[in-house]
């Protein structure tokens, strides 16, 4: 029997209805209000959101394409769980995609894109120093800065689809609550790596920027995998020499 959802964010009927429903469901999956492994009926979700079934089903189809849920015929939709094997695949994909994207970004960053990255780096440094307002917890703020920093580099690489795809991969990590690595890793070191990447991008040193990004992702992957129960914390393909880019 499908579970009844609770505490979903209500939405309003307007042209962006599907986007609102998608955002509400995605948020509920990531923060655990919709529980991994649990089956929900489309009607119960629609009722909780205060909307009809059709836009909810459309949003769920989008989430299914992202690997977050799975439709089960005549039963409803199940929130998927992320295994350690899944995590290794996701983190390996990030390694293979973001390193060459960083190299590419270094070659074509606009002044506006560089300014955006600098602002994110400085926001992180101010956070550590206790400056500025904190509308979220320090941990949540670090994750927000990290997500925006990586997204900005991917956008600067000139591949919009790549940026969207990696953002979806990050959602799959968040589903397990594993992006709490900020509470485990030293924040100064973690955000300091953002500064190192930025400095390399600013001087248009593509090789250095890509190498630092590679180390940044591998170090994060090791922590996430250990927290997921993989004692070695080793990432598949981490020792494979990066492909030559920019040649």
Q: What is the pLDDT of residue 128?
A: 77
pTM of structure: 0.79
Query: In the block, which residue shows the tokens 């983190």?
Result: 91
Q: How far is residue 230 from each of residues 32, 186, 223, 240, measured CA to CA in Å?
A: 22, 20, 10, 20
DSSP-assigned beta bridge partners for residue 40 = 3, 77
User: pLDDT 10s digit of each residue in the chain, 247 long?
Assistant: 667 666 776 666 565 888 999 999 998 998 888 988 999 999 999 999 999 999 999 999 999 998 899 999 888 999 998 888 888 999 999 999 999 999 999 999 999 999 999 999 999 888 877 654 544 567 778 888 999 999 999 999 999 899 999 998 988 887 766 555 444 456 778 888 999 999 999 999 999 999 999 999 998 888 888 877 887 777 777 777 665 554 4
Task: Supply the pLDDT for residue 144.
Answer: 86
Residue 130 is predicted with a pLDDT of 66
The helix (run of H) or strand (run of E) holding residue 198 is: helix 187-202
Residues 45 and 9 sit within 8 Å (Cβ to Cβ):
no
CA 227 to chain centre: 17
Measured distance CA(215)–CA(213) in Å, rounded: 5
Q: What is the pLDDT of residue 20?
A: 92
């Amino acid at each position: 029997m499908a579970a009844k959802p609770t505490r979903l964010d209500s939405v309003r009927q307007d042209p962006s209805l599907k986007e609102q429903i998608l955002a509400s469901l995605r948020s509920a999956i990531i923060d655990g209000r919709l529980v991994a492994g649990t089956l929900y009926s489309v009607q119960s979700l629609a009722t909780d959101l205060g909307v009809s079934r059709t836009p909810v089903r459309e949003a769920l189809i989008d989430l299914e394409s992202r690997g977050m849920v799975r439709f089960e015929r005549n039963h409803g939709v199940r929130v998927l769980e992320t295994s350690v094997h899944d995590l290794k695949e996701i983190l390996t994909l990030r390694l293979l995609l973001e390193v060459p994207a960083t190299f590419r970004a270094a070659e074509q960053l606009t002044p506006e894109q560089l300014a955006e990255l600098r602002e994110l780096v400085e926001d992180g440094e101010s956070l550590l120093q206790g400056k500025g307002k904190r509308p979220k917890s320090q941990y949540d703020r670090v994750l927000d800065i990290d997500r925006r920093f990586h997204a900005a580099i991917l956008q600067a690489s000139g591949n919009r689809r790549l940026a969207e795809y990696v953002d979806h991969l990050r959602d799959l990590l968040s589903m397990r609550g594993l992006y709490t690595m900020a509470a485990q890793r030293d924040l100064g070191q973690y955000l300091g790596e953002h500064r190192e990447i930025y400095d390399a991008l600013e001087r248009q040193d593509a090789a250095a920027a890509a190498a630092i990004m590679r180390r940044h992702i591998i170090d994060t992957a090791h922590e996430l995998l250990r927290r997921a129960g993989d004692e070695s914390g080793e990432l598949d393909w981490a020792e494979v020499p990066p492909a030559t880019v920019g040649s």
